[in-house]
Structure 1
Amino acid sequence: MTKSSPPSIQALYDLCKKTFAPSATRPPSSLAINKLCSLLDTIGPADVGLDDGNKENDRGHGPLGIKLFNRASRWAQPITYVDLHEGENFTMCMFCFPASSVIPLHDHPGMTVLSKVLYGSLHVKAYDWIEPANIQKIKGAGPATVRLAKLVVDEVLTAPCSTSVLYPKSGGNLHSFTAITPCAVLDILAPPYDEVAGRKCTYYQDYPCNSFPTGEDGHENGVENVEYAWLAEINTPEDLYMRSGVYEGPPIQT
C-alpha cells in the first residue's frame, strides 16, 4: 500500500522545523533556503484554506464576508493576521490585505524572512542599511536623527510568483507592503520576533536623500542618489489596523 503524501503545508512545516532547528546551520545555507523556496512556490490559496470566496473585496468585507469598517483611509480597513505556527525557532503566518491597505516600513532584526504572495497584487518597497552606519543629526523641524539606507526592491508582485527572501543584512530587511488588489501573503520568519532577545519590530519613515540640511552651514549633505533614502524611526502608526483570523487549512501536526 502506498502511503499518501502529507498536505503541502505540513511538508512546509516539516522542512522549516528541520531547516531552523537549533542544531542546524545558522544562518541557513543557500541550498536550504532554496529548498524552502521551491516548496513555497508550489503552495497556493487552497493549500492554506483560502479560495475565491474568502478573498477580501473592495466593499470592506473581510475573509469571512463580515463587514469591517467603512472605507476612510488606506489604513482604515484591518489587515487580517492568521497564525499557522508560533515557535521558538520560526513563525508561519498569513496576512490577508484589503485593497489599498498598507503595512508600513518596518524591520526584521537578525531574521530571515520568506514571503509568498498567494493571490492578488502587492507592491513591495524594501531597503537595506548602509554599512558602516551613516547617521545624521537633524537641526530644526523633523526627526532628531536619520540613517542612510539603500533601496533594493521597488516592485509589484502578482500571484502566481516566486517566493521572496530577505536576510538579516541583505535582500531588503526593511520593507513595506501596499495591497494593489485584495491579496494574501504567507510568511516564514526565522527566528521569530522576540523583544527579550532584541528582535523588536521597529517602524520607519523614509525621506529622499536631499530632504535634510545637515551640515554646519545648513547645506544639504550631498547624498542625492535616488537609490538611497534617509530612514527615521517612528512609533507604531495609530491607524495601522490588524485583527486576528482563524486558520482554516489542513491541520499542521507539530
Structure 2
Amino acid sequence: MEDGVKGSPIVTYTTIYKCSKFSLCLFFLPATAVIPLHNHPEMTVFSKLLLGTMHIKSYDLVDPVSSHDSPPHSQPRFARLVADNDFTAPCDTSVLYPTTDGNIHEFTAITMCEVLDVLGPPYSKADGRDCSHYEEFPFSAFSIVNLIYADGENSVNTEEGECYRWLEEIEVSENSQIDDK
C-alpha cells in the first residue's frame, strides 16, 4: 500500500454519479488513513459508513457566514465541537447541513472503511462550493478579541460540557492523501 502525506495511507474514492443537483461518491480508507478536516460549503451531505470502524471529529462554526462574506483564509474561525467519537458499521446515516450538524469534519479509519456520500449540490468551484481544509487550535491559542459576532459582541456563552476550538483555513498540498480512481 502506498503512503500518502506524513505516512498516512492513501484514501481513494470514486464518483458513482454526478449531476447539477447532487453527486454520489464512494470512499475507501485503509486502516489509519485520514480524510483531513474539511467542509462542504452551502451543501447538504448524507454520509453512510458501510464497512469498518472510523473516528469522526466534526465542528460547526459559531459565527457561520455565507461563502461570499467569508473572512480571509488566515483569520481563525471559532467553532463548537459537535462529534468526537468512534462509529462502527452498521450505524445511522449522518446528515450534515450547510452550517450545522458538523459540516466541518475529519475522518480517521480505525479499521479498513468504506463510506458512501451523497452531496447536494455537488462541489463546484464556479458556484463557490470548493472544499476548504482546516487546522484546529485549542480555544486558548488565540485571543478572544478575534471572535467578533454580527451583533458586535466579543463574548462567548458556553453550555456546560461544550468544547470549542479555533479553526484556521489552510492550503492542502498537491500531494494530498486522497486519490480519485
Name the TM tier (shorter chain). Answer: 0.7 to 0.9
Cα distance between partner residues in 1 of 2:33 and 2:18: 25
1:166 matched to 2:102 = no
SS in 2 for 1:157: strand
Cα distance between partner residues in 1 of 2:44 and 2:145: 36
CA 1:244–1:222: 2 relative to 1, 3 Å:
same
Give the corresponding residue for 2:149: none
1:150 matched to 2:80 = yes
CA 1:239–1:223: 2 relative to 1, 3 Å:
farther
Cα distance between partner residues in 1 of 2:169 and 2:4: 28
Shift of residue 82 of structure 1? 1.3
Q: Is the 8 A contact 2:15 2:26 kept in 1?
A: yes
Cα distance between partner residues in 2 of 1:83 and 1:71: 20
1:232 matched to 2:168 = yes
Higher strand share: 2
1:98 matched to 2:34 = no
CA 1:107–1:166: 2 relative to 1, 3 Å:
same
Mark the runs of 5 or more structure 1 residues left unpaired by the alignment: 1-59, 61-68, 138-142, 246-254
Instruction: Determine what percentage of the aligned residue pairs are the same residue.
Output: 43
Given candidates 59, 75, 84, the residue that maps to 1:127 is: 59
Which one has more relative contact order, counting CA pairs under 8 Å at least 6 apart? 2
SS in 2 for 1:196: helix
TM-score normalised by L of structure 1: 0.59
Given candidates 81, 85, 90, the residue that maps to 2:17 is: 85
Residue type of the partner of 2:98? P
SS in 2 for 1:145: coil
TM-score normalised by L of structure 2: 0.81
Q: Is the 8 A contact 2:23 2:122 kept in 1?
A: yes
